[in-house]
Amino acid sequence: MKMHEDAEFVSLDQLAECYDGLSKELYKKLWDMMPKRTHTDYGDFGSQYEMNCANGTLIDEHWDKFTEDEQAMINKALDNQLEPHSGQDELLFPVEP
């Protein structure tokens, strides 16, 4: 199944905690896929996105580990909800220099 375009910007834990429409099983799987240890010193990164990339926690990095039903559920959750997070306003409404 084709992955939702937003999957490259949303982390496993963000999806689990901030998006609606996930089964209890998928919620647990998302948390089970999170690395046991991550680099959490935000000061070493320019953004939350960079930190998620470094930690390997973005959905797109794990897409093939989900069943087709789970992929459909993830795509629907991403389609139905815009998760508010730091920097989202700049993505939607670029600030003029």
Give the CA dihedral 34, 49, 51, 1, nearest 10 degrees.
Answer: 30
Strand partners, 11: 58
For the chain, the average pLDDT equals 81
How many contiguous H segments (helices) and E segments (strands) does the chain have?
Answer: 5, 0
Distance of alpha carbon 19 from alpha carbon 31, whole angstroms: 14
What does the buried/exposed string (b/e) look like for 58-72 if buried means 16 or more CB atoms within 10 Å of the residue's CB?
Answer: bbebbbeebeeebbe
pLDDT(90) > 60: no
What number is the average pLDDT over the span 79-93?
53
In 3D space, the residue among 16, 10, 46 whose CA is nearest the CA of residue 30 turns out to be 16
Q: What would the mean pLDDT of 26-34 be, rounded to a whole number? A: 94
Please give the pLDDT value at position 42. Answer: 61
Q: Which of 4-13, 51-60, 73-82, 87-96 is least confident?
A: 87-96
Query: Cβ(74)–Cβ(23) under 8 Å?
Result: no
